Each structure stands twice: as C-alpha cells, then as structure tokens.
Amino acid sequence: MSASPGERWLEAAYRGSPWLGLLRPLEALYRRAVARRTAAFRTGRRTVWRAPVPVIVVGNLTLGGTGKSPLTAWMASHLAARGWRPGIVARGYGGKAARYPLRVSADMPVVQCGDEPRMLARHTGVPVVVDPDRPRGARALIDAGCDILISDDGLQHLALGRDLELVVVDGRRGFGNGRCLPAGPLREPLSRLAGVDAVLVNGEAAFTAPPGAWTFHLVPVRWRRLADGEARALAPPPFAGPVHAVAGIGHPGRFFATLEALGVTVEPHPLGDHHRFTAADLDFGDDRPVVMTAKDAEKCRELAPAESWVLEVAAEPEPGFTAWLDARLAVWRRPEATAGTRR
C-alpha cells in the first residue's frame, strides 16, 4: 500500500526535509493563532472550567503516534490500584454520536465513540466519556462517581483546567524538525514544554530530551485472536511463517519493529492514523495470518479474516516517575492541600 500525501508530509516533517522551509510563512500564522488562543484562556477572555477533583492531562506536542494511549491506560490502572476512582475524558476522534456526553462501552460501535476511547474502556474497565466539550464530559464523569480525571490527548484543550500536564514524546522521532504546523509536526512551539509538569519519552531517546524527562517502554504482553478473544503467550507465536502486519496508527514503523523483535517475519502494510478499515484492506489474496495493533482491532472485529491476531502491549514507566506521581497523589489526598493544587 502506498503512503498517502498526509503520511508523506508527516515523515518529511520528522526528517526535516528542506522543502518544508517554503511553508514557514504559514507556520508563522499558525503560531500567532496558537498564541492568541492561549492568551485568551490565560487572561480570562475564554473560560477555563476547573473541576472539583484533580485532573491529569496526558497529551503530546506532535502529530503522529507517541504511545500516549497505553500510558493513559497504565495511568488509569495505577490510580485505581492506589484507591482512586479514575475516569477518562476524550475527544473521541473518528467517532460521531447523536448526543454528548457519551459514555463508552466495550461493545459500542467505533463510528460513535472512536477507536482509542473504546480500546481504553475495554482495557481499563474505568468509566470513559467522549465529548468535544471536555468540561461537559468531565462533569459527566464526576456525576458517575469519579474522584480523579485523566484527559486523554488533552494538552491543547485548554477549556478544561488541569492539575498535572504530562507530555508524551516518541523516543525515535522526538520533535522532528522542531517547527510548528504546517512546516513541521508540532501542534505548539517547543517553549510550551517549560510550563508542563513532566515529559515522558517512549523508549530510549534518539534526540536531546528535555532535562528531567522520564522514560517509559511499551512492552508486549500477549497475543489475542481477534475472532474469539483467545489469549496466547508471546513465545512461541501462535502462527507460523510470514504475516501481514497492518497498522493504522500514528507511527506504524514502531509496531513493525516490535513484531520483528519478537521473531515474527513481517510484510508491512502501513495505513494512516485512525484509518477507516474495510474488508478489502485486510484481504491480501492468501492465507497468511494478519497481525494488528489493539487500536486497529477495535475497528476490525467484524472485517478481519479468521486467522487474525492482536499484539497487546502495556506501558511500563521507570520507577522514578511512578514515585514522583505517587508523591503528587499523596498531596491531593490531603484536603488542606487540595485547594492549592488547582491551576
């Protein structure tokens, strides 16, 4: 499958292709628009709703995949294990519901809620709500009994106040050429990092990471057959020979490299992020197994061939970050300190 124009542009932005310099006048306009919007929320011209419970934002500065969703899932499980009642609020990209806020269930059509929210609902078991209006979605989670909220991909959604901002970065691609849209992959200038609480790098950094950045890894956990949900151990793989590896995510190459590290011979089929799958996308004219990500599996359950498998992964942050987070959680548990933690 050939790359789409959008995919080719994104790869050029991460490589720093010289022709992107032609787009710098448009980048200047984009930066001014971002600055005006940020100033509007900071000065009160636009309203920031502050929840009566802690809000943790897990987001990124760049377009393309960073491993943010597995980290969000880890965060939800970690909070629950510490005695909190977490909920996740998301935009629900790729989905469209008749009304919002929408409480996501594991069997809800992806066309309503989006692939990532349904995956998070399935994997975490915590309440997940999608709503383009994040404060409204957050209120629905609080009404459902949640006492701490995770705003998935919420860094740029400034209408929802936050107590903690975590920025996730892909260790291989970093911040690309360091330029904002459309001359680079950044949603906001790199100066935004000065105001966040922590930066988490997915894998070992092949770029100069910000001082104090933490590391986490995506660790393969098990294989799951898509047709019936049967789980298998990683080794040996439950299939023989080469496989068709399909990835409609922000960084397909990372998924293919993970499969190869597990000893799987891969014929890669990269697709655009949030690709809308059809049965034809998974029909390769032979009987080789098809292997995909958990995110893509949410859209392919009714489309995929019988011998289709999902590689499930989990985020594992370094111990230092976990200790740092637990220290923040301990402060929020003390009522006399809580009032001072709101931004």
Q: Does 255 lie in the same domain as 192?
A: no
Q: Does 258 lie in the same domain as 143?
A: no
Alpha-carbon gap, residue 173 to 299, rounded angstroms: 27
The pLDDT profile of the chain, 343 residues, written as one tens digit per residue, is: 555 677 778 888 888 898 999 999 999 999 999 999 999 999 999 999 999 999 999 999 999 888 899 999 999 999 999 999 999 999 988 789 999 999 999 889 989 999 899 999 999 999 999 999 999 999 999 999 999 999 999 999 999 999 999 999 999 999 999 999 999 999 999 999 999 999 999 999 999 999 999 999 999 999 999 999 999 999 999 998 899 999 988 788 889 999 999 999 999 998 877 788 899 999 999 999 999 999 899 889 888 899 999 999 999 999 999 999 999 999 997 554 444 444 4
Alpha helices in the chain, H assignment, sequence order: 5-15, 24-43, 68-81, 110-113, 115-124, 134-143, 252-261, 294-300, 319-332, 335-338
pLDDT for 341 equals 42
Assess if residue 343 is contained within a domain: no
Structural domain boundaries enclosing 298:
218-315
Q: Does 20 lie in the same domain as 65?
A: yes
Q: Does 163 lie in the same domain as 293?
A: no
Alpha-carbon gap, residue 343 to 341, rounded angstroms: 7
pLDDT for 251 equals 82
Q: Does 329 lie in the same domain as 309?
A: no
Q: Does 307 lie in the same domain as 258?
A: yes
Assess if residue 228 is contained within a domain: yes
Alpha-carbon gap, residue 301 to 224, rounded angstroms: 12
CATH number of 330's domain: 3.40.50
Q: Does 138 lie in the same domain as 90?
A: yes
Q: Does 331 lie in the same domain as 208?
A: yes
User: Which token pair is 26?
Assistant: 């448009």
Q: Does 178 lie in the same domain as 231?
A: no
Give tens-digit pLDDT for 244-279. 999 988 788 889 999 999 999 999 998 877 788 899
Assess if residue 112 is contained within a domain: yes
pLDDT for 252 equals 86
Q: Does 247 lie in the same domain as 263?
A: yes
- Candidates 299, 244, 271, 253; CA nearest to 114 is 299
Q: Does 175 lie in the same domain as 97?
A: yes
Alpha-carbon gap, residue 116 to 122, rounded angstroms: 10
Alpha-carbon gap, residue 337 to 327, rounded angstroms: 13
By the 8 A CB rule, do 285 and 256 touch?
Answer: no
User: Which token pair is 238?
Assistant: 């439950």
Assess if residue 50 is contained within a domain: yes
Assess if residue 234 is contained within a domain: yes
Q: Does 192 lie in the same domain as 306?
A: no
Helix (H, G, I), strand (E, B) or coil at 237: coil
**Overall number of domains in the chain:** 2
By the 8 A CB rule, do 75 and 158 touch?
Answer: no
